[in-house]
Structure 1
Amino acid sequence: MASSEESFLARRIDAEAFPLAVVDVLALAAVLTIGVINHNGVEYLSTNTVGWLLTLVPFLVGWAVAGPLVGAYSAGAAESAKAAVPLAVRAWIPGSIIGFALRASPLFSGGFQWTFGVVVLLTGGVSLAVFRWLFFKLRG
């Protein structure tokens, strides 16, 4: 018999939702990269690749933790945009909070400012919603 932890995760992660994970990482990486470019210029991506990637990591870690726990990759999420979009937005709220906490920690530079938090919360949520909606539109 499966443990309650295995049952919980088994209900939250479905292999059919794997393409959504790819879409989500691309969405978050794109919106965060646009922010990096706006603050540092496009040349920063090649002159300070580690700095650029370290900007993405706290939020991708936050998403990797929160997304499955909230059900962003559950069987229902893989069925339609109507199910997938709200799950992504709901998962982004705790995911971004984890990212903010990591950025505010000594593990990452950048710190946390409220304006930054509002911008990342909104743009990340919108990018996840739009990318997931496009995924289902293109998939047909």
Structure 2
Amino acid sequence: MSTQSFMEQRLDASTWPIAVGDIIALLAFLLAGTLQHSTITEIQMNPEIYLFAAGPFILGWLIAAPLIGAYSPGGGSAANSSIPLAIRSWVPAAIIGLVVRVVAVPERGFAPVFAGIMLVGGAVVLSVWRYLYFQLR
């Protein structure tokens, strides 16, 4: 029987570069999406636009990724284990983000197309980032 706590089994300090890259990749993806609806000038003048767009999904990632094991020892060992962990972590993270977004900004409502874009787009962005990480490492 392991003496490690649940979170100790899910978090490996050596995965910090992947974690930083994940956040940067997600922030870039979320900024690209935000720029589909707002100009950079509007975002600079009203940063809450980006905060309300990105915040729920980053929060979802910060909750789901450690719980699912995106930063576990397997998450940092090779692309063939790291990428599936990122995708499995992104699905609940995106769902959390969608729920938080609807609760925090109810006037935006819920659009199934947006949910699909978030689920697929985030998974692709995280996968590409992690693939590149292991190719360049």
TM-score, structure 1 length as denominator?
0.90
Deviations 1:34-93 (A, max 9, x none): 011111123223122122122111000000010001100001111111111000001000
RMSD, aligned α-carbons: 1.6
- Identical amino acids, percent of aligned pairs: 39
Q: Which amino acid aligns with 1:75?
A: P
Q: Which runs of 4+ in 1 moved over 4 A?
A: none
- Quote the residue 1:18 is aligned against: 16
- Quote the residue 1:61 is aligned against: 59
8 Å CA contact retained: 1:37, 1:44: no
- Return the alpha-carbon distance in structure 2 between the equivalents of residues 133 and 111 of structure 1: 34
Matches within 5 A, 1:1-140: 7-105=5-103, 107-108=104-105, 110-139=108-137
Structure 2, unaligned stretches of length 5 or more?
A: none
Structure 1, unaligned stretches of length 5 or more?
A: none
Task: Report the secondary structure of 1:43's partner residue.
Answer: helix
- Return the alpha-carbon distance in structure 2 between the equivalents of residues 111 and 69 of structure 1: 28
- Return the alpha-carbon distance in structure 2 between the equivalents of residues 17 and 126 of structure 1: 20
8 Å CA contact retained: 2:52, 2:101: no
TM-score, structure 2 length as denominator?
0.92
